[in-house]
Chain A
Amino acid sequence: MLRLPGHSRTLYGLCRSFVNQASKRQQSLSTNGSAATSKVAIEPNTSKMSIFSGHIKGSITNTLEFVRPENITPLPIYQVLDSDGAVKDKSHEPHFTDDHLVKMYHDMTLLNVLDRILYESQRQGRISFYMTNFGEEATHIGSAAALNPKDLVYGQYREAGVLMYRGFKLHEFIDQCFGNARASCKGVQMPVHYGSTNLSFVTISSTLATQMPQAVGSAYAYKRAQNGLCVVCYFGEGAASEGDAHAALNFAATLEAPVIFFCRNNGYAISTTTIDQYRGDGIASRGPGYGMATIRVDGNDLFGVYNVTKAARELALSEMRPVLIEAMTLRVGHHSTSDDSSAYRSIDEVRTRDKRDNPIVRLRKYMTKRGCWDEEKEEKWTKDSQKMVMEAFANCEKSKRAPVTTMFENIFDKVEPHLQRQMKEMNEHIRQNPDHFPLALYEKSST
């Protein structure tokens, strides 16, 4: 038997150090005292609070007074373009050309047409699932317009307008919803889980808020690469309740990552209204708590969203720190095609609110006043856009799905031996039982 000299002593040493380390976890929660860190001198701090924590600047008080959130003034909502399509303070009016305005209007309305046609196609059972973007078009287009097209975007699932602005083609949206061979994810994910490397749009996943700490990691890598780009992370106010949201905001602040957190606060997380989601002043009020520059904006105002995103980008990159934007808006549509929102809210009320103030209508009013849009153009575009979507839809509906063996690929970088065996098993099973499978829908396997 090989027993190393001094073995038991080494082991004892390990045990002792292990006890120190194990208890450190608790210690790190209270003070910074630890045997293991004793080499690090505690910074002398002349402030009255130095005995507590070096980063708290508060002074001693003899008044016993709780901070009550209801006594704090809610953060204001920045607005440029009001619901009548008027700009009150001309100094805040962004300098868009007529062509750029028309492009943004086209993107918002084309997304709207695409939403209506895909929503209806789901109702007819032609695609399995869909989520519309009704009422939130300005948050997508306004923010996308303010970014560098190479800035990396992490989304939740209701940000298709960002892709639309960046040039994702109609067939790319529709192919993904059908799960065709041409689709970005070759049909492995549910509809609306888009992704594009060319357009720097990270593939959507269903898990809420998981993209948030990931966006921070990417932003940190971008900072180190000094590529002049930032990362933008979209999420809903419901997702902001997830633990990952907390992780992300805190990591972004302490690791000084150039990331813009863009919260779409549309009032609902499926059926849950914000009163059941949080009791603070929305999501924006959390920003300062994490030490983060923060702003709240009218999400139905394309110009307001554009201005804050542009400024946030400049701030994030020039100061290498995260920024939080909360865009206030309204989820006009159902949560998804699996949801009938009349079960928990009045459809009439939503319609009334949408009629009173819709981001597309607001922009149209402005463009009409400015003279770069009129009834004739509207009528022609309505027809053209519907035709474009219908044609793309018909084309995509005819396309086949990827070969069945695709499902074994990209689990790892290579098809590992156990997966090769399982793929063979499946192929053999299909060969012997072809009638039990909808093979006509799929392209033929090359293997």
Chain B
Amino acid sequence: FLRRNVAHFTFFKDQPDASLGATKEMNLCQTIQNSLDITLGNDNTAIVFGEDVAFGGVFRCTTELRSKYGADRVFNTPLCEQGIIGFGIGAAVAGATAIAEIQFADYIFPAYDQIVNEAAKYRYRSQNLFNCGKLTIRAPWGAVGHGALYHSQSPEAQFMHTPGIKVVIPRSAIEAKGLLISCIKDDNPCIFFEPKILYRSAKEDVPIKEYTIPLSKAQIIQEGSDVTLLSWGTQVHVIREVAQMAAKENISCEVIDLRTIVPWDVDTICQSVSKTGRLLISHEAPVTGGVGAEIAATVAKECFLNLEAPVERVCGYDIHPIPHVFEPFYFPSKWRCLDAIKRMMNF
């Protein structure tokens, strides 16, 4: 008997920061709703818009917000991504906190021009006469088991090459709330990619009150001495499991969640690699021109004398992510990661 949709990862719960007070069990989807709720409550200029957000969103991330805050603050737009982002930029330019939803990260490309040529360059080209720092773009992201070519993509590298925007990806419900609120408050246009496979499966105790997690700060989830494992989003859970598998073979892994793709936390990564001497970067997106390439090149330069083995990148193959029925073979799975670790240890 073969299950059709077996999860390629195991979700690791985190303990909430006790100093943040009372918690409530929420999944990632609910924490997004909760973060937007807090924002709309605190900031009267804040608006939430996109395709189908009014009734609660196709993933239920905006439920009840319209009835609570009004139809002028939570509303549907026509089905047009370049319009959604252009509209959001304009609202931000006029002083509103604009939270735009793109229904799937796969459909962000019609808005690529508005993001790359407009949002990212607004402050620079006017030398801060005008800016759209109050814009946040949310989009469901990453593999989901059967999303095929247009419900699976991880386009963060496309935006990493664009100065002027921040790209942030959380790995869990607790992280999603702190990072999304930081994106909304940050005075730069931010893209917040939400791993949609975690929407319901990432359930943990999330602090109820407002809190932020700093952008451009990676998090060392587990300390180790032999290999640094680096990823973001869902794949963090894969490398956490890989670290457990490696431990059984007496390999000590340091597990890091990058969290912010750009501007990324060079210092934390390089310090870790200087200590361990080995780096494995893993992401769902195709390997060529992926975020891993940028990190590998930087680490190769900054940690040249400390590296004991070539930097390994265990990523998606250079095919369109993700061919429907071949998904299990496409993944940078825990087994592929473990192989790479062994290669590095035996180098």
Contact = CB atoms under 8 A, between A and B. Distances in A.
B118 A21 contact: no
A210 B114 contact: yes
Nearest to B244: A1
Nearest to A197: B129
A28 B91 CA distance: 26
A254 B5 CA distance: 40
A195 B130 contact: yes
A410 B187 CA distance: 11
Given A196-B129, A418-B263, A13 B86 contact: no
Nearest to B266: A418
A241 to B, nearest CB: 14
B86 A212 contact: yes
Interface string A198-230: 000011010100101111111111101100000
B120 to A, nearest CB: 9
A185 interface: yes
A15 B145 contact: yes
Interface string A8-34: 101111110111011011001100000
Contacts of B128: 410
A397 B280 CA distance: 55
A251 B51 CA distance: 12
B221 interface: no
Given A11-B5, A216-B90, A217-B90, A247 B83 contact: yes
Contact of B125 (A10, A21, A193, A215): A193
A10 B121 CA distance: 42
Contact of A244 (B59, B83, B98, B163): B83
A214 B163 CA distance: 20
B201 A214 contact: no
B55 interface: yes
Interface in B79-118: 79-80, 82-83, 85-96, 98, 103, 110, 113-114, 117-118
Given A1-B244, A210-B117, A416-B263, A28 B79 contact: yes
A214 B93 contact: yes
Contacts of B10: 1-3
Contact of A210 (B52, B86, B216): B86
Interface stretch (B70-78, B228-236, B310-318): B70-78
Interface of chain A, helix or strand or loop or mixed?
helix
B83 A410 contact: no
A49 B123 CA distance: 49
B83 A7 contact: no
Question: Counting chain A CB atoms within 10 Å of each CB, which of B58, B88, B103, B266 scores highest?
Answer: B58
Contacts of A197: 129-130
A186 B5 contact: no
Contacts, number: 219
A37 interface: yes
A213 B114 contact: yes
B207 interface: no
A44 interface: no
A188 B125 CA distance: 6
Given A7-B7, A18-B147, A216-B90, A210 B118 contact: yes
A76 interface: no
Nearest to B5: A15
B89 to A, nearest CB: 5
A216 B129 CA distance: 19
Contacts of B201: 4, 7, 10-11, 14
B121 A221 contact: no
B7 A412 contact: no
B82 A251 contact: no
Nearest to A152: B94
Interface in A392-433: 406, 409-413, 416-418
Given A4-B11, A203-B126, A205-B121, A215 B113 contact: no
By DSSP majority rule, is chain B's interface helix, strand, loop, or mixed? loop
Nearest to A186: B127
A191 to B, nearest CB: 13
A334 B103 CA distance: 43
A413 B187 CA distance: 6
Name which of B45, B90, B166 has the most chain A CB atoms within 10 A of its CB. Answer: B90
B12 interface: yes
* Residue of B7, B244, B266 ringed by the most chain A CB atoms within 10 A: B7
A40 interface: yes
B124 A411 contact: yes
Nearest to B189: A412
B87 A220 contact: yes
Interface in B179-206: 187-188, 196-197, 199-201, 203
Given A205-B117, A250-B78, A254-B78, A221 B90 contact: yes
A217 B87 contact: yes
B188 A413 contact: yes
A224 B90 contact: no
A36 B129 contact: no
A202 B132 CA distance: 12
Contacts of A217: 86-94, 96, 98
A189 B118 CA distance: 13
A255 interface: yes
A263 interface: no
B4 to A, nearest CB: 9
A40 to B, nearest CB: 7
A225 B94 CA distance: 10
Contacts of A25: 103
B82 A247 contact: yes
Contact of B127 (A212, A224, A251, A410): A410
Given A218-B94, A221-B96, A418-B263, A207 B117 contact: yes
Interface of B: 5, 7, 10-13, 45, 47, 51-52, 55, 58-59, 72-73, 75, 77-80, 82-83, 85-96, 98, 103, 110, 113-114, 117-118, 121, 123-131, 133, 144-147, 151, 163-164, 166, 187-188, 196-197, 199-201, 203, 216, 241, 244, 263, 266-267
Enumerate the 10 nearest inter-chain pairs by beta-carbon distance, A residue then B residue, closest first: A217-B90, A213-B86, A247-B83, A214-B90, A203-B126, A221-B94, A217-B91, A218-B94, A21-B58, A217-B87
24 contacts: A1-B10, A1-B241, A3-B10, A4-B11, A10-B200, A11-B197, A14-B199, A15-B144, A22-B147, A202-B93, A202-B130, A216-B90, A217-B88, A219-B94, A220-B47, A221-B91, A247-B82, A247-B87, A250-B83, A251-B77, A255-B87, A413-B123, A413-B187, A417-B267
Given A218-B93, A247-B83, A251-B87, 14 more contacts: A1-B10, A154-B90, A184-B126, A188-B127, A202-B126, A203-B129, A210-B86, A214-B93, A218-B94, A221-B45, A225-B45, A255-B87, A412-B188, A417-B267
